[in-house]
Amino acid sequence: MKDYKLKAIAVDDEQHCLDTLVWELSRSCPEVEVVCQITEEDEARERIPQEDIDILFMDIHLQASNGVNLVKELQPLDCAVIFITAYDQYAIEAFEVAAVHYLLKPINSEMLRSAIDRIIEKRNENERVTIDRIMTALKETKFRKQRIPFSVQSGIEFVVLDDIIYVSGENNYSLIHFVDGKKLMVSKTLSTVEKMLSDHTFLRIHKSYILNLQHIVRYVKAEGGYIEVVGGTQLSVSRSRRAAVNELFRNPI
């Protein structure tokens, strides 16, 4: 993470507050780059899902609504969330939506630095755990033909793990893509499916994709980064997942 730039979006309906945040980041956290400043909620709803970022700074007390509700509306988000507020009674509500931290206005540089350090520490820890799990699973062969049950509209389907190429998220459902070209819609969120597959050769590479490492054709680091799987489909690798993917393929044969 030493030379890795963390890209961020900052949302606040007061421009002078955004200016202060950017200034404090330049002083205390030079590894964070604010790529977009947003003062309007409609723009936030449209822009945030389109951007591949590491951190979202969100003011809680927006002019027309509540920043916590806006973040809930935008889920799933594949980035860390830091809420900013002048009212500390919002802290508990902020942590209920998995905020890594919240900052009180006026922003304290030490607290800001602490929040960024927590993001970096958590990411490094998650990468280590993920890589260890994947390397262990790759050495095992006993799980390849194992079947795992998925709830579908008509009942329960028992799916052979090795037949799955990748899983994509579709709101509160997940779409399983198989080697024979078939697809299966299951009534589970992608996060739930990720937990079900956590002991096997599957890796979350994007907020919308879980990949079976057995079916990778190539990993292209350029153009934002993507993985091509059997069948030719190209799956984007998000910024927040890229370091783990790079580490996993650091020493190819």
**DSSP assignment of 73-107, as one string?**
HH-S-SSEEEEEES-GGGHHHHHHTT-SEEEESSP
Which pLDDT belongs to residue 164?
95
Rounded Cα distance between 212 and 193, Å, is 12
Task: Give the chain's mean pLDDT.
Answer: 85
Residues 74, 61 contacting (CB under 8 angstroms)? no
Helix then strand count (H, E) for the chain reads 7, 15
- Taking the CB of residue 251, how many other CB atoms lie within 10 A of it? 6
Q: Where in the chain is the domain with CATH 3.40.50.2300?
A: 6-133
pLDDT at residue 155 is higher than 50: yes
Model pTM score: 0.68
Which pLDDT belongs to residue 141?
55
Q: Where in the chain is the domain with CATH 2.40.50.1020?
A: 140-248
pLDDT at residue 3 is higher than 60: no
Give residue 156's identity as a one-letter amino acid code.
I
Q: For the stretch 44-79, what's the b/e string if a residue is b when 16 or more beta carbons lie within 10 angstroms of its beta carbon?
A: beeebeeebbbbbbbbbbbeeeebbebbeebeebbb
Residues 54, 80 contacting (CB under 8 angstroms)? yes
Q: How confident is the model at residue 205 (pLDDT cuts 50, 70, 90)?
A: very high
Which pLDDT belongs to residue 5?
85
Q: What is the CATH number of domain 140-248?
A: 2.40.50.1020
Rounded Cα distance between 123 and 2, Å, is 13
CATH fold for domain 6-133: Rossmann fold (3.40.50)
pLDDT at residue 199 is higher than 80: no
pLDDT above 90 covers a percentage of the chain that reads 44
pLDDT at residue 1 is higher than 60: no
Rounded Cα distance between 151 and 68, Å, is 31
Which pLDDT belongs to residue 144?
56
Look-up of token digits 């006993």: 142
